[in-house]
Structures are given as C-alpha cells and as structure tokens.
Structure 1
C-alpha cells in the first residue's frame, strides 16, 4: 500500500517548478561568475566573495528579485493551494505549513547561492581561514573586528543574515497573499519595498535609513554605521531580524483569522 505523503511534502513538491528553478539557477550562476571576475585578485580569497552575499548590489539587483520569482511561481498554483487547505484541520496548521515551507525553501535558496560561489571559486581563490590582504587594507576601520573574528565565522554569520532577510521577505509575501489572494500583488508590494530600500540607500536619505534594511544586513556596514564596540560580536543585528520576523508572523496570524477557513474548505472540497 502506498504511503500517504504529508502536507509539507506535498507543499514542497509544489514549490519545485523545474523550469523556474532552472532559470533561477542560470541567472544566479551567471551573476556569481560576474562577481568572481570582478573580485579575481591575488590579494583576495574566497571569503571576500562570500561577503558579497549581503552587499547592497547583489542583494538588490539579483538575490532578492530571483527569490521573489520562486515565491511567485509557487503561490500561483491556484487549485493546489485549495487542495492543501482542505487537507489541513484548521487555520493554524494551514498557516504554519506554509511558513515552514517558506523557511525550507529559503534555506535551500541561500545554500544554493553559497554553493555556486564556492564551486566557482575552487580554482580561483585561496580557502585558508584568514583575512585576505585586500580585506585588511580595505577595512581599516574594522581592524579590531577582523583581529577578533575569523572570516569563516563572518561568512557563516553572513549566510545566516541572508537567510533571515529572505525569510522575512518571504513571510511578508505570504501574509500579503493571505490578505489579497493575489501573488502578483504580493510580488509588487515586496518588489517595491526592495526598490524603496535601494532609493533610500542610493539617495543617502538618512532620516529613512533606520526604516530599511541596508545598514542591518551586512555586519561590516552595521558595525560602521552604529559605531559599535569591535571587541564584541554584534548579536543585536540578529535580534533585530528575529524580532521583525516575529512581528510579521503575528500580523499574519491576525490576518488569517479573518479567513473563513471552514467555508473555503467546503468550497474546495466541492470543487474537487
């Protein structure tokens, strides 16, 4: 007898859109090649490249837009979401199922970018766990920080920050989707948020920078912007993102209370 698949397995299968993922992979691979060419230098190592994960240009112009493509493709499934809602016993299970799936996809997406960078760097950069000559000379303001923390620790923290940012945007995308029932509206909202962040950053509008994320996703930028003690690791940057995620999660929970879940399940059951 064939084992019945769990709701999470079904939802993850829905997330797997072969053509979309292949297109996203190609775009990411090409962009990472471009970063590799730009950063190729005997004075740099692989950690200089990994630091780019949370830099303004890669995030704004490639990483966030391609991530939004993946989310939009998934939430455009239509009837499959109705079927999955019918399989869930209540709103809480339905909501947490989607949140869990977004977390898993965000993890896979973040690891994929790091994996592409590492594979492309094998024959170009050194992998020793020490700061490059370029980093030491360029980040003179952060000399104390560089002495206290290794590039491996910094790279792991950078990957975690990338995950937190993308998961927050994914959660926001989902909350708007619950409210509007339109993946295109969700895409437009989050994409405009990204554009506004870019405008504030490029325009150097200091009064609005605290509202947006550029200064709080790169540890180097965060330490410089807020003139932090470089002898202590800036754990507050992670607390900031965790608190934001908690707020958006709670807002989503309030929004989903307005959904007539039992009625929708009945309609979906009838439609099937």
Structure 2
C-alpha cells in the first residue's frame, strides 16, 4: 500500500515538473507582456508586475499604429504561407505516400526526398535566390509557399506512408473488385481511414512552416511578405528594445498554432471513430 502511494506521489510530482518546465516560459512571456517597462529592467528582476498593462495588445491590433500594422501584416503573411504550404504538401503527399505504400514505388526515391531535408538550409540559398530573382519572385508570399511546400513534402510523404502501411488493404481490394478506380478508392476509402494521420501531418507541417525563419529572412524585405518570425526579430532590432512588446508579439504569435492544435485534437478523435470499418 505504501509503495503504491509512493509511486503515485512520484508520478504526480513528475507530471507537475514537466508541466512547469513546459508552461513556465509561456507564463513568463505572458507576465512580461502585461508588465510595466520599469518592471522588466529592475535589478533584481520583479517577477510579479507592479501594475497590469494590456495596452501593448491594443497597440498590436491597431492598424493605425506602426507596430500594429507590422504585426497584423506579418500575421496575415504567416497564415497564408504556412496554411498554403501545408495544404499543397498534403495534396501532393497523400497520393505519393499511397504510391510508395501500395504501388511499390521505389524506396530509393523516397530516401532521396528525405535526404533533401537533411541538408543545411543554407546550401540551397544561392540557387534558390538566383532562380527566384531571375523570375522576379523575391519578396512574395507565393515564393515562401513554394519553398515551404518543397520543405514539407518529404516529411509529410514519409509520415503519411507510415500510416497508410498499417491500414487494412482488404477494404481497398474490395473496392477494386467492385470496379472502383484508384482515385476513387483513395478519396472514398483511404482518406476516411487515414483522417487521424492527415490531421497529425497537417498540424506538424503547419507548425514547421509557421516557425520557419531562415528562408523568410532571406526572401522577404518589407511588410508585403514578411512573416511573424522575421517581424519579431525586427521588433528587437532597434536601439531601445521594448521587451514587453516583443513578449506581446510572442504571445499573439502562439495563438493560431494553439487554436489549431486544440481543433486538430478533437478532429483526430473524431477521425478515429469515423475511420472505423463496420463489419
């Protein structure tokens, strides 16, 4: 009995430590965003704000303010680039993964795809920059969508293939025996069964594209195409850095991925139920 109680206490203690380790930085970011500027420069550091100030959030949501215009423009660009790249990557990854899993496509080709994301990003900068410059596509959201799609496609294909491998092939064979085409089978049979995998792949792909900084920094130079990671760096580039504003931008930047994660969590559960095969 004592041993069981001790194990339970240790288990809950570990859970609390992991929760604090995970949520601690985010809680401090929120605290910084509502603290007065003097609180953030005091020595020793003031952990509890002397006053609660939400004016920075109002400023970032105001289009008539320079900081607000920069933030909202970067937010729009991040949603467009991450969302567009995720959608395109999934549209290409699902049939590609099906080919590797069910049509015995060469695994050498798949490993060649994976090798492209193992190289340091800087190795691709010169040819990509030269190509996009010659096509007049620098500083455009479409350029980032193309780059991010190419970056996400190998990862999404590999993840989808691993999940399609474990799906019951008998259901697909039954559809083929009824005269269904491959496209119809993928759309009506495979996709419903693979909904949890699609949701997980979409969520992870979106987060990778959302947080990408290097390519966005190189290929963009003004508000028309800059994404949030680059905008956050711009907020900290002045002579006098307002740490509260940077923290506020960071908090606001975490909201779309957090909302997406919550939505996909429910979608994965519903997908597991919807993907069940009736006997």
Fold shared per TM-score above 0.5: no
Q: TM-score, normalised by structure 1?
A: 0.32
Q: TM-score, normalised by structure 2?
A: 0.31
